[in-house]
Amino acid sequence: MSNGMTTIRDEITVDGDVGAHEHGVTETACVERFLEQLSVAAIQRVVPSTQVVVSVRDGETTRLVASSSARAEACERAAHDAATGPSTAAHHQGRVVVVPDVDDDSRWPGWAELAHDAGFRSAVAIPARLDGDAELLLVLYSLVPDAWDTAALTTAAHYAQELAHALTVCRTAHRQAEVNAHLKAALASRATIDQAMGVIMAQNRCSAEEAFGILRTASQHRNTKLRDVAVAIIEGVTGQPASPPPAFRDSSR
């Protein structure tokens, strides 16, 4: 993946419904791969000759996360950079924006020219709410004009909601994994510091509070992290590395 965008490969296929992939995503945390597969599913389900771009807006930041072709990706990158095109309109208006025929649409001439040069004749942008203020944008490009009948639009809108739900699960799982990693690191540091404090207390016959003060002073004087000083003290006295902390049990699994 480059520049924050994942471009799909022709050999990727999808079996089953969108919801069937959800458990696998939370277990593997392979969000980009998941979005690649879902992009293919959109092509298969909506209309033939359709290319897909999925982007996420979070505050003032827009990130393109998946596409099914370099041509569609280029169109969306240009649209985002210039704050124009159907995806920008869908975001600001909070509704589906349809372009029945690129050649007859005068709302965004720069985007329309680029889309025409890329071989696209129609497009549709569909917003879907994620967690918090974030928003997913599903943009479909077609090689034929008037590709979006009522059935296709209904299917695409449903698909966008399913994709938004799945991506929300991914984002939640990712945040939880980050929290667990920070907690694990904090517990490991605390255990090492406690061991070092025990060594200092035994050597200096002082209280835990005094031992911590000695450790903190050494950290400040050496301009070194407290845990690293603790590790050096333990290894210097025992000749052995600090004992590992108790295993961290992730109760969310």
Q: How does residue 98 score in pLDDT terms, banded at 50, 70 and 90?
A: very high
- The sign of the torsion formed by the CA atoms of 25, 253, 134, 155 equals positive
pLDDT at 161 over 80: yes
pLDDT at 47 over 90: no
pLDDT at 198 over 50: yes
Task: Give the residue with greater pLDDT, 231 vs 114.
Answer: 114
Q: How does residue 7 score in pLDDT terms, banded at 50, 70 and 90?
A: very low
Rounded Cα distance between 217 and 191, Å, is 19
Mean pLDDT of 222-247: 77
Q: How does residue 37 score in pLDDT terms, banded at 50, 70 and 90?
A: low
Show the domains of the chain with their CATH numbers.
18-176 (3.30.450.40), 185-238 (1.10.10.10)
Rounded Cα distance between 172 and 39, Å, is 21
Q: Residue type at 173? A: A
Rounded Cα distance between 196 and 242, Å, is 9
The set of long-range contacts for 104-111, using a CB threshold of 8 Å and a minimum separation of 24, is 108/79, 108/84, 110/78, 110/82, 110/84, 111/75, 111/78, 111/79, 111/82, 111/84, 111/85, 111/86
Rounded Cα distance between 218 and 209, Å, is 14
pLDDT at 35 over 70: no
Mean pLDDT of 206-211: 88
Look at 2-6, 28-32, 88-92 and tell me which has the smallest mean pLDDT: 2-6
Mean pLDDT of the chain: 78
Q: How does residue 33 score in pLDDT terms, banded at 50, 70 and 90?
A: low
Which of 47-61, 87-101, 143-157, 185-199 tops mean pLDDT?
87-101
